[in-house]
Structure 1
Amino acid sequence: MAKTMVPTKGATLEQIKEIIETNNVELLHLQFVDIEGTLKHVTVTARQIDDVAAGKIMFDGSSITGFSPINKSDLYLQPDLTTFAVLPWSVEEDYSEARFLCSVKNPGGTDYDGDPRNVLKKTVAKAKEQGYSISVGPELEFFLFETDEEGRPTAKPQDNAGYFEPSPHDNGEKVRLEIYRTLKQMGFTIEALHHEVAQGQHEINFKYADALTAADLATTYKWVVKTIAKQFGLHASFMPKPIAGINGSGMHVNISLFDDAKQENAFYDENDSRQLSEKAYQFIGGLIDNVKNFVAVTNPLVNSYKRLVPGYEAPCYIAWSASNRSALIRIPNTRGAGTRVEIRCPDPSANPYLAFSVIASAGLDGVNRNVTPPAEVVEDIFSMNQAELDELKIENLPSSLEAALVALGESELIKETLGSHVYNEYTDLKRGEWDSFRTTVHGWELEAYHTKF
């Protein structure tokens, strides 16, 4: 019989200790993310499990991007027991390793404002005060690239297969299957896995969860995908647009509100022509109103805006539809308990904790202000010319990280959602990124101008 590698829902510390003993766990990785969503961890021995659970493990926050100044560097890690998992690739006969995802605490035990996980926890708590629970189902695409003799990533995709193609054309199938097995052992419920549209591009979908768990899963997913790809001598990239001229990678975010008092999906109304509730329309209206202001968070790289261009199925036009995939926001066909809103612009380079926070806050803003969304667009937006777009008053998303940062700075809602610490650190970081890009002489410029002028 296979050993248990993850605790059951609501497991106690004692049950986790039993799993540690049964699996001969020697090391515990205490994981958290920096302001960009990059996974970090501090490793301790399993015999320190009681101190770990009590939040007594300290680390230097001054060395983490967007965290503490050097004169206030001592921070603590408080593990979320529900995130415990033995790492399948570490398992040997008498040895294994495990991990916890953690929230970051101040020395006095309060939540640290610079921790992205705490930002999402505050957003969830605010929604709870209004009577809602937030569910999120992200869909993260990625590329597999070959590596050179020294293990460094190349620009060559691992295969030339297309959408839904099987082996032998899909050389990544065996990698996806190993990722699937690993995620399953770590407690994921996998719903689908397949080759995506572009060469070397893949997607593995996992079941929706409450917003915080979904962000934990997305963070773990990216780590596992990269780890397993490396075992096959490949590089997995969540860069939004790694190859010019083909589709980029998105992170479609499916989100819904659950009415805690009525114990039902707040977006479903069987009497509406689309079977959507008034709150669903208001939530859509909130997303439409605020998307320009939060796209710097959901699409955080200079490279993100090379994906958000016409011609590659990326939604760069601000519109919504009950079915039209060319719209920025669409409503998947499922109704009843599964009724949800899908926002299609985010990409997988985003910090999921911050991305889910700003999306949820934007939608709830629409609910709180009783916002009526614009008319649904059922036509193919990708085929429209500028005059047709103007006639329907369909606007574009910001076309660069610089423009997105300007829009971010105009929104008190998003500033409040992120909190002053994260907002200031994040915008400083991203302005620096844009300035670095802006002042760099790129290969395209040399090719276009070097001999011409």
Structure 2
Amino acid sequence: MDESTELPSSAPLSASPVPAQSGVANDPLAPRQVASAADARRIVESRGLTHVKVGLFDNDGIMRGKYMSREKFFSALDHGFAFCDVVLGWDVQDQLYDNARYTGWHTGYPDAPVRILPETCREVPFENGMLLFLAEFSGAAEAVCPRALLRRVIERCEQAGFVPYGALEYEFFMFEETPDSARAKGFRNLKPFTPGWFGYSMIRNSVHADLYHEILELAERMDFPIEGLHTETGPGVLEAAITVDKVAAAADKAALFKTFIKILAERRGLMATFMAKWSNDWPGQSGHIHLSLRHRDGNRSAFFDGGQPHCMSETQRQFLAGQQRLMPELLAMVAPTINSYRRMIPGFWAPTDATWGVENRTAALRVIPGSDKSQRQEYRLGAADANPYLALAVALGSGLYGIEQQWQPGPPVAGNAYADTQPEALALPRTLWDAAQRLKQSEAARDLFGDAFVEHFAASREWEEREFRRHISDWELQRYFEII
């Protein structure tokens, strides 16, 4: 079911504890204690590593990277390194955009500068002490780099006096398939890891406890700890709620979670997919986002006001209004694939309009009343296929824009949001192409994210739509071949 009942903790919304374990006994510090270039050098030297892993995330949230020699890595800590900017100019199948301004054949696909982020150091558990460091583009490429984009939105939020916290929860399907077997079957008649409808199954998580334990251990060791893990309703589908953290760290954790769940599955002879909707027969897969703000001065919740209805402060109402009003304009960044729009149909737990409600899972935005420590809201439009950096940039940036503009939300939905008639202004685009056009036309998007990013990302979504239209589907052949 495209629903979550496993919520982020009601504990204080502060950074989650980092794992203390280290893969090497004589480490001067654990990987998640690395905070500087000097620390990074110390831990690499103490492990005697000749190479480390360095990775970054592209437009679609796919991790790209390589092994880097120790000498080159040490130099890059101080001076950065060069990475071909084609990873910002191709799609999920490594096909080159023909409509992007930032990079393309017209630029020759040059190298772009990249900075290493020492504080992102993690151990890769199944590589004998190997360390992984995240990086992000700098220089001109920074304008279109997803991680850098989120960082700029966070800085704008902090300048307004707030510290943002977030957590993501993902549904993903597991199959008894390999990349080769799935392709040999044409991605049809795939065998799910478990059969049938069986949400929250204690039987399944006990029978397959070894897999669950591996997922939980991986998450702890790589510092994207999981607060809740259970079967969802559908064959082979699991849901994981990642522990709350500051938004920048929450994005890294979500992006690493998606990457390494796939890696863990394939190492076990399985496959995991985060497609928004892989089958007409089963519900879609969500990537819900929980957000809250705390005041930088005093560390008080900016959302909680016990004297107001549903404990919603004026700041939370304005934040909610920004998310609601801008959702149709920014949808392409949250629903970034053709497949995203297969999920957004009535009755399948995915919103179709920019609605909000209090503890209402049929609405696009769900207000969750609580205390100073737990008052928050859930951006339920998010799907599992979204780039976590961009999804969080939208959810946070649009709310912040509402605070800046002092907007007020429309009336909440009571009951079934699918049956509630909404103003046309709250209707969400129904196709990726339409969503890309709304993004290009959005003044708020250009204000929040910059012209360069909006133009580049909208072009990449237009490319995705055109690639789709070049192909003939099975449905078209079955419907028209004989009869028309």
TM-score, length of structure 2 as denominator length: 0.85
Instruction: State which of 144, 165, 189 in structure 1 corresponds to 2:174.
Output: 144
2:117 alignment counterpart? 80
> Does residue 1:51 correspond to 2:51, yes or no?
no
Q: Does the aligned pair in 2 maintain the 1:317–1:394 contact within 8 Å? A: no
Q: Are residues 174 and 295 of structure 1, via their aligned partners in 2, closer, same or farther at CA, if it must alter by over 3 Å?
A: farther
Corresponding residue of 2:135: 102
Could you say which structure has the greater relative contact order, defined with CA pairs below 8 angstroms and 6 or more residues apart?
2
Shift of 1:212: 1.4
Q: 1:229 is paired with a residue of what secondary structure? A: helix
Alpha-carbon distance in structure 2 between the residues aligned to 1:203 and 1:82: 28
Matched, 1:389 2:441: no
Write the distance in 1 (CA, Å) between the matches of 2:148 and 2:221.
27
User: 2:42, 2:471 → 1: CA distance?
Assistant: 54
How far did residue 408 of structure 1 move?
1.5
Alpha-carbon contact 1:143-1:200 (below 8 Å) kept: yes
CA separation in 2, counterparts of 1:306 and 1:88?
36
Q: 2:343 aligns with which of 295, 307, 332?
A: 307
Q: Secondary structure at the residue paired with 1:117?
A: helix
* 1:252 counterpart SS class: strand
Code of the aligned partner of 1:451: E
Report the identity percentage.
Answer: 24
The alpha carbon displacement at 1:171 in A equals 6.6
* 1:284 and 2:320 are equivalent in the alignment: yes
Supply the AA of the counterpart residue of 2:160: Q
Q: Is the 8 A contact 2:58 2:87 kept in 1?
A: no
What are the superposed Cα offsets for residues 144-190 of structure 1, whole Å, 9 maximum, x if unpaired?
A: 12215934464332112521113348876533321221121112332
Contact kept, 8 Å, 2:205 with 2:212, in 1: the verdict is: no
Q: Which residue of 2 aligns with 1:412?
A: 443
Q: Secondary structure, in 3 states, of the residue corresponding to 1:265?
A: coil
Tell whether 2:65 aligns with 1:41.
yes
In 1, Cα distance between the equivalents of 2:205 and 2:375?
36
Cα distance change on mapping 1:259 and 1:349 into 2, 3 Å: same
8 A contact 2:56–2:136 mirrored in 1: yes
Counting matched residue pairs gives 441
User: What amino acid is aligned across from residue 113 of structure 1 in structure 2?
Assistant: A
SS of match in other structure, 2:200: coil
State the one-letter code of the partner of 1:3: S
Partner Cα distance (2:455, 2:146) in 1: 13
Q: Which amino acid aligns with 2:175?
A: F
Q: State the match for 2:192 in structure 1.
A: 157
Do the aligned partners of residues 26 and 399 (structure 1) sit closer, same or farther apart at CA in structure 2, a change above 3 Å counting?
same
Answer yes or no: is the 8 Å Cα contact 2:21–2:221 preserved in 1.
Answer: no
Distance 1:374 1:90, change over 3 A: same
Matches within 5 A, 1:244-323: 244-323=280-359
Q: Tell me how far 1:334 sits from its aligned partner.
A: 3.4
> Residue by residue, what CA displacement relative to the aligned partner does 1:250-276 show, whole Å, maximum 9, x if unpaired?
110111122112421111111112111
Cα gap change, 1:198 to 1:173, in 2 (>3 Å): farther
Q: By how many angstroms is 1:8 displaced?
A: 4.5
Unaligned runs of 5+ in 1: none
The amino acid of 1:102's aligned partner reads A
Shift of 1:14: 4.1
Q: Shift of residue 46 of structure 1?
A: 2.8
1:271 aligns to what SS in structure 2? Answer: coil
- Cα distance in 1 for partners of 2:459, 2:125 equals 38
Partner of residue 348, structure 1: 384
Contact 2:143 2:450 in 1 (8 A): yes
